[in-house]
């Protein structure tokens, strides 16, 4: 409506840094809503389509992590041999990666590509008027509001006091934990390994106050990723 009025009034609806992606996500949700009649199902369709597009990268990512796991003994030997010469150690490690045709950042690529989409969808759900008060199914009555089926954390608890609590973020954390357990553990930096173990917990608390629609999006991604990881694990073990 603002766009139809002209004079750039449509820009008063702020879609943030990833504005072009957010507007595209908003348009896609509108199209899928017209198809399904429900914004919750529209979000699920969008999530599945994005995951299908990312499937080739996910396969490369899993293979990269599997190769990194196999290289751990050689990497540890290099680290022990050149512990007093960090420059030589890094050069030897990079040569090892090059020799085996792998990249330590390869396992992160699908996640990095999803970050702009995540923020774009966040601003689309937050700023798109049709999603305000839009119900999904069961207890989800407003996709633009946090899932609060279980109420709120008591206000006396520091930092988290008053935070909404619902099953969606808890399910998200559980699925992320299962997926993390399936992924090849590449060892390496202990601090990084500890951080990865805490990621499901961090994401659970982070999503407590996020819109339910965004939590559904990330939950679908996580369930898809978990199923995909199981398939890739079996294919890798079978030598395919």
- Mean pLDDT over the full length of the chain: 75
Range with the poorest average pLDDT among 96-105, 135-144, 163-172: 96-105
Length of the chain: 240
Residues of the chain with pLDDT > 90, as a percent, come to 1
Q: What are 33-75's pLDDT values in tens digits?
A: 899 888 889 989 988 888 888 777 777 776 777 677 777 777 7
Residue 143 has pLDDT above 60, yes or no: yes
Higher-scoring residue by pLDDT: 3, 156: 3
pLDDT of residue 204: 82
Reported for 165-171, long-range contacts at CB under 8 A and 24+ positions apart, including other chains, are: 165/208, 166/139, 166/208, 166/212, 168/140, 168/207, 168/212, 168/215, 168/216, 168/219, 169/203, 169/204, 169/205, 169/207, 169/208, 169/210, 169/215, 170/204, 171/219
pLDDT of residue 105: 61
Nearest-CA neighbor of 229 among 58, 3, 48, 25? 58
Residue 222 has pLDDT above 80, yes or no: yes
Q: What are 91-137's pLDDT values in tens digits?
A: 877 777 777 666 666 556 666 767 777 777 777 777 777 778 888 88
Phi, psi of 164 (to 5 degrees): -70, 145
pLDDT of residue 185: 55
Residue 193 has pLDDT above 70, yes or no: no
Higher-scoring residue by pLDDT: 127, 216: 216
Paired tokens of 26: 């908003």
């Amino acid at each position: 409506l603002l766009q139809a009025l002209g004079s750039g009034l449509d820009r008063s609806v702020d879609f943030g840094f990833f504005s072009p992606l957010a507007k595209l996500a908003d348009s896609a949700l509108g199209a899928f809503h017209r198809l399904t009649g429900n914004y919750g199902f529209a979000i699920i369709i969008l999530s599945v389509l994005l995951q299908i597009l990312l499937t080739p990268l996910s396969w490369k990512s899993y293979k990269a992590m599997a190769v990194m796991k196999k290289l751990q003994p050689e990497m540890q030997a290099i680290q022990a041999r050149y512990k007093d010469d960090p420059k030589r150690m890094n050069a030897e490690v990079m040569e090892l990666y090059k020799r085996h045709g792998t990249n330590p950042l390869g396992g992160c690529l699908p996640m990095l590509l999803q970050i702009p989409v995540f923020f774009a969808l966040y601003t689309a759900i937050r700023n798109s008027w049709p999603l305000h008060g839009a119900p999904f199914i069961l207890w989800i009555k407003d996709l633009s509001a946090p899932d609060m089926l279980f109420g709120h954390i008591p206000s006396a608890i520091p930092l988290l006091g008053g935070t909404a609590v619902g099953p969606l973020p808890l399910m998200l954390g559980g699925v992320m934990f299962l997926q993390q357990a399936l992924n090849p553990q590449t060892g390496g930096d202990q601090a990084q390994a500890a951080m990865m173990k805490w990621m499901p917990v961090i994401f659970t608390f982070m999503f407590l106050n996020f819109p339910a629609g965004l939590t559904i999006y990330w939950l679908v991604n996580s369930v898809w990723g978990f199923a995909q990881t199981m398939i890739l694990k079996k294919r890798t073990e079978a030598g395919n």
